[in-house]
Amino acid sequence: MRRRTFLALPALGLVPCAVLSACSRAPTPGRAHGVSQGAGQDGAVRITYGDDPSQLVELHRPSTASRGVVVVIHGGFWKSAYDHTLGTPLARALAERGWTAWNIEYRRVGNGGGTPETFDDVAAAIDALADVDGLDLSTVVTLGHSAGGHLAVWAAGRPDPGVRVTHAISQAGVLDLVASDRAGLGGGAAAALLGHPAGAGDAQWDPQQQIPLDVPVWAVHAPDDDTVPFAQAEAYVDAATAAGAEATLVEVTGGHFGVIDPDSDAWAAQLEVLDAIG
């Protein structure tokens, strides 16, 4: 059954300047290579999972018992101009709500990323959770914005994971690489990620072509998004539910960036989703 959640929310005000854009050596999956206490922001622990400067994670722990792990995956059309600091405000907010936040960085197009390096890094960063003491991995939620939404849903469907994703939340995500490429989103960002025009041969990288997943997916998106069309979320949820998967469309307002503003009603809607999960 298709489930659609509509939230009539007021328009947001100014977007912080840090989010003004839409947002090589292969690592050893599931192996954290080093930990530097105090290297992250706000007392977060910085963990590396490979030798490249982009193969790092910032771990934000709650002050109370953890409700589960949320893997924060930033956007920016997979481009090296944008980094994990886009996800830092969400990681802080999640820790304040009792979640362990795992804010990941990965190689992007322009600094050694692309296919398969970007995907290898996201997989390895998630699998590195297994090397952190004191984490309960029974609930692992991927939460990604824009290109990070694509990676969040992709990660939920990857085969033979070291750490299994149990739920995925796409925040204005690019869920259809073929449609994205045809529309020229991000100046041809999908083709730059793949190294060629997106097509049927890219099923292993494209959430729309991986339907159905056995992991619940929430597609949080605003109809007034002028960066990634709302139709991406609608088409994904329609196809997923028609195929028997559990997928929910959470309709918000606030454009492309309201979903990553911790002070927004769009973020409050996502907290409701997380409350239902854990």
Write out pLDDT tens, residues 192-246. Answer: 999 999 999 999 999 999 999 999 999 999 999 999 999 999 999 999 999 999 9
pLDDT, tens digit, for every residue of 99-132? 999 999 999 999 999 999 999 999 999 999 999 9
Considering only CA atoms, which of 148, 134, 142 is closest in space to residue 105?
148
Q: Are 237 and 212 a contacting pair, CB within 8 Å?
A: no
Tell me the mean pLDDT in the region 27-48.
Answer: 57
Considering only CA atoms, which of 164, 134, 157, 171 is closest in space to residue 271?
171
Residue 215 falls inside a structural domain: yes
pLDDT value of position 246:
98
pLDDT value of position 23:
40
pLDDT value of position 217:
98
Domain count, the chain: 1
Categorize the per-residue pLDDT at 42 as very low, low, confident or very high, splitting at 50, 70 and 90: low
Residue 146 falls inside a structural domain: yes
Residue 202 falls inside a structural domain: yes
Q: Are 271 and 141 a contacting pair, CB within 8 Å?
A: no
Q: Which two tokens stand for residue 142?
A: 């991927």
Residue 18 falls inside a structural domain: no
If phi > 0 it is left, if psi is from -120 to 50 it is alpha, else beta; for residue 238 that is alpha
Tell me the mean pLDDT in the region 256-275.
Answer: 98
Residue 190 falls inside a structural domain: yes
Virtual torsion, Cα 90, 92, 93, 97, nearest 10 deg: 130
Residue 72, domain CATH: 3.40.50.1820
Categorize the per-residue pLDDT at 27 as very low, low, confident or very high, splitting at 50, 70 and 90: very low
Residue 157 falls inside a structural domain: yes
Q: Is the pLDDT of residue 38 over 80?
A: no
pLDDT value of position 22:
40
Residue 134 falls inside a structural domain: yes
pLDDT value of position 262:
98
pLDDT value of position 43:
74
Residue 97 falls inside a structural domain: yes
Tell me the mean pLDDT in the region 132-146.
Answer: 97
Tell me the mean pLDDT in the region 249-278.
Answer: 97
Categorize the per-residue pLDDT at 26 as very low, low, confident or very high, splitting at 50, 70 and 90: very low
Q: How far apart are CA 125 and CA 114, in angstroms?
A: 16
Range of 235's domain?
3-13+23-277
